[in-house]
Structure 1
Amino acid sequence: MRALVLRDLRIAMRAGGGFGLGLAFFLIVVVLVPFGVGPERTVLARIAPGILWVAALLAALLSLDRIFALDHEDGSLALLATAPLPLEAAALAKALAHWITTGLPLTLAAPALGILLDLPGPAYGPLTLSLLAGTPALSLIGTFGAAVTVGNRRGGLLLSLLVLPLYVPVLIFGADGVRRAAEGLDPATPLLLVAGLSLGCLAALPFAAAAALRVNLR
């Protein structure tokens, strides 16, 4: 499993592998928002939690189609299906590699980009915690969606339509935790809920992704 994670990390760091693409998109969205809504600090501070979470969600969505597509094209996905490593563990390794290359950089960059949106000081800690707790769910859901659509010619569009509704609860609770902190309220409840969503995805979605892969590889 560790070898599979390291292999995916090496592929992601190559030219065209998608590493940094999500982070660049995240930066572009956050930078463009003040130009679109105006420089009013009170407006930016009010919408900052939602904008940061929506931008992170869309940035994570960009590289989902690469999770299994490259392996399917070169035939290594079929080899994974017959390897001693269970497909459930392979799906989990893929999700972990996606999170390391996408979710973790977004989490680390979010506080710096929050300055551009005039995010209130008390919200920076909850912002980092919410992304740290919620981005694993985005990667796990995306891995499941990529497994369902692998081999489909229009898999990118279908993948987006499949995973975006599943992302909504993570978005709601993640952004609500940051908003509560920005308003001086206790963010613990939504942060615990978003962490619970990630744990639930961790418990169920590797098995669902493996089942989808078995169906698509028949």
Structure 2
Amino acid sequence: MTKKVNISTESGADVQTVSEAVATRLKEFRKRQKLTLDALSRRSGVSKGMLVEIEKSAANPSIAILCKISAALGVSVAEIVNVASPPAVRLVEKHEIPTLWTGPKGGSARLLAGTGGPSMIELWRWEMQPGEIFESTGHPNGTYELLHVEQGQLKIAVNETELRIQAGCSAVAKTDVPHQYSNDGKAKLIFTMTVAEPH
């Protein structure tokens, strides 16, 4: 199941701002590497039509699609959505933080900050209401996620393995394979996640 990017206007950058940033950055990275849309489509596995729509700020791509495009370009999702910090210290203001997933019951996944380059690190904050699920087809080879549950209980499934992480506990998961996060409890779930993707 692919979840669509659904940027909240309540706690960060709005839909139009993020769509325009994604369109501009995608074109910049693609042209810098002298890639045609056809070539990027073949490399990423994302249809040319979708790439055209993204570059026109007319598409609403899923996190999975953004991950495929960023991996094909050798950059991070944070760079594409324009929240990556340059080498010097930089503050990411509250209004710059995009919400890249919104669940059917009001949950959210916000990309708080990220580094650039092919070896990237991203910091996320997730909130999931009871019954919400997020599924991923997997990240590039060697990707790890560090998870810490602040409130509620996170159920994570990686391939055939399931783990329940209680509030106050942490976990490490190799997520270069299909995986799923869910809140099958009765209370709101809040957790932070660091994604480390090697070169």
TM-score (norm 1): 0.28
Greater CA radius of gyration, 1 or 2?
Answer: 1
TM-score (norm 2): 0.30
Structure richer in helix, relative to its length: 1
Structure richer in strand, relative to its length: 2
